[in-house]
């Protein structure tokens, strides 16, 4: 058994645990030639649109990350971390989602596909329990 290195000083990181933050995970497939445009429109319509949800005081989600897979060109994984299910449900209203979808589809008029909604497959049971983050 080898000795472990000394841990970093606590001032260089944060460690939160015991959370129960709902996670939304969406996987899309986009033509790699259209990817940059799709990402720009996604940010302008979906990220900023949901960040300014009518009737919600402040940005309703804690974070949104966009992950690209070099092994699968055009695959986009989007991960939202929500403070609680109530904030997520406030954004998940059908009329609001339809409006953003319509705006997105007008601004990005090329094909793309929602391949998976992993959070739905897991009945919204995925949650973040801890986060270790460099300061």
pTM of the model: 0.90
* Domain 14-130 of CATH type 3.30.70.100: yes
112-117 and 75-81 as β-strands: parallel, antiparallel, unpaired?
unpaired
Binned average pLDDT, 10 residues per bin, the chain of 135 residues: 81 93 98 98 96 85 97 98 94 94 98 97 96 90
Whether residue 71 contacts residue 32, with contact meaning beta carbons closer than 8 Å, is answered with no
| Residue recorded with tokens 């949650």 | 127
């Amino acid at each position: 058994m080898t000795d472990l290195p000394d841990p970093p000083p606590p001032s260089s990181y944060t460690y939160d645990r015991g959370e129960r933050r709902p996670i939304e995970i969406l996987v899309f497939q986009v033509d790699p030639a259209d990817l940059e445009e799709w990402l720009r429109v996604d940010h302008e319509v979906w990220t900023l649109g949901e960040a300014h949800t009518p009737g919600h005081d402040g940005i309703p989600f804690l974070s949104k990350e966009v992950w690209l897979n070099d092994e699968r060109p055009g695959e986009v994984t989007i991960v939202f971390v929500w403070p609680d299910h109530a904030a997520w449900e406030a954004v998940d209203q059908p009329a609001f989602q339809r409006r953003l979808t319509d705006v997105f589809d007008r601004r990005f008029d090329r094909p793309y596909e929602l391949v998976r909604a992993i959070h739905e497959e897991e009945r919204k049971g995925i949650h973040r329990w801890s986060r270790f983050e460099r300061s």
